[in-house]
Amino acid sequence: AVVSTQSTGEVEPSSRLGLPFIAIIGNDGSWKQIERDQVKMLDSPVACRLDRSTPYHRVGEAYGAVGMSIPAEASMDEIRDTLLSAQEEYRKGRTVVVNVELGNSAFRE
């Protein structure tokens, strides 16, 4: 299954009903997409800067999914191994939430 956008609300019924998907969260420690426009309009990043260390994969676990994390300093081998493990769990019928810590970027600026 390819899922483009989900919220944490979909993880619980997916896990409970056996309708698995893999959710990959790109965690840059902010709502950067919102912040770009908000700062232009309101001259303030209030509520857009978050803590990158928030363990979003644990939210998935609380909803019954398998939680996995890829730290920003992970090697390509570690990233590959984690994503392969996520696919393996998915094939077993489990919903998976992968929290991928991203570095800062000027992408789209």
**Residue 104 predicted with pLDDT over 60:** yes
* Distance (Å, whole) CA 23 – CA 97: 5
The pLDDT tens digits for 4-56 are 556 788 899 999 999 999 999 888 888 877 888 999 999 999 988 887 788 98
Confidence category of residue 58, pLDDT binned at 50, 70, 90: very high
CA 28 to centroid of chain Cα atoms: 10
